[in-house]
Amino acid sequence: MINDARPIGIFDSGVGGLTVVKEVINVLPKEDIVYFGDTARVPYGSKSKELVYKFSCQIIKFLKEKNVKAIIIACNTVSSNCCEDLQKQFPNIPIIEVLEPGVSSAIKSTNNRKIGVIGTEATIKSGKYEKKIKEKLLNCQVYSKACPLFVPLAEEGFLEENITLDIVKMYLRDFFKKDIDSLILGCTHYPLLKNSIKKVVGQNVNIVDPAFETALKMKEYLKKNHMDNNKGGKHKFYVSDKNDKFDFICSLVLKEIHIAEKVNIEKY
């Protein structure tokens, strides 16, 4: 049996992609993982498409230097704005994004065909979620909302504080009269605020986190291409700016302690 011991590369603008790492570990416990969080330049959601593309190219070059066998873009802003361009720029490495799995999950979960999408300004402005959902689900209604303050809340570790709940209510009140039954967390930071979001939208709304479906997609790809690893399970974390918050949230999400290493990503 062929055993491909090269790691899986995963990247995000900051701590949000750790929610994807968590699901990849659960689904693929024997795979090694190299994670990069661009903590020096977070958030991506308010930046131009050109700048996000530049940042992503730098990160992919770094991950390729780490000999990764495949890459997950654990960032909806990158997935919705640059994924196709990145796949063209780096044709020799498989790149999987989080948007398509999120769309598939939402279509499976909805009964009344009324779906909400929340994400960064760049993700919502791209219109990719709405376009993809309507391509696959006829006669549906999609309501989108940018929630730019959710990323800094997650980065600061303000997950269930009163101020977080107030901001969630402010953003999501537009959905109260839309009768949505599914809400896509269209940013990998947002699952960190899931408990606060659930309190606001109520128990009757399905919270769609694309991370699990993304992990399943990676598992399927590796198996199909005989690239899976049955002997690993080591995880390495890198950031573009070192602070204790990343290590704290990493331990909170993954339930194990990891110390991230700082990288000068600008040189790539």
DSSP letters of 154-210?
HHHT-SSSHHHHHHHHHHHGGGTTTT-SEEEEESTTGGGGHHHHHHHH-TTSEEE-T
Catalytic residue among 83, 147, 187, 250: 187
Catalytic residue among 75, 82, 147, 250: 75
Q: Cα(110)–Cα(97) distance, rounded to whole angstroms?
A: 22
Give ∠ CA 130-131-137 in degrees, rounded to 5: 85
For the question of residue 187 being annotated catalytic, the response is yes
Helix axes 128-136, 99-109, angle to 10 degrees: 50
For the question of residue 82 being annotated catalytic, the response is no
Give ∠ CA 211-113-171 in degrees, rounded to 5: 65
Q: Which letter, b or e, does each residue of 98-110 get, where b requires 16 or more Cβ atoms within 10 Å of its Cβ? A: bbbbbbbbbbebb
Alpha-carbon distances, residue 57 vs 54, 66, 170, 172, 225 (angstroms): 5, 14, 35, 33, 25
Alpha-carbon distances, residue 167 vs 19, 84, 178, 242 (angstroms): 21, 33, 19, 27
Q: Cα(182)–Cα(111) distance, rounded to whole angstroms?
A: 9
Element (H, E) at 97: strand 95-97
Cite the active site residues: 75, 187
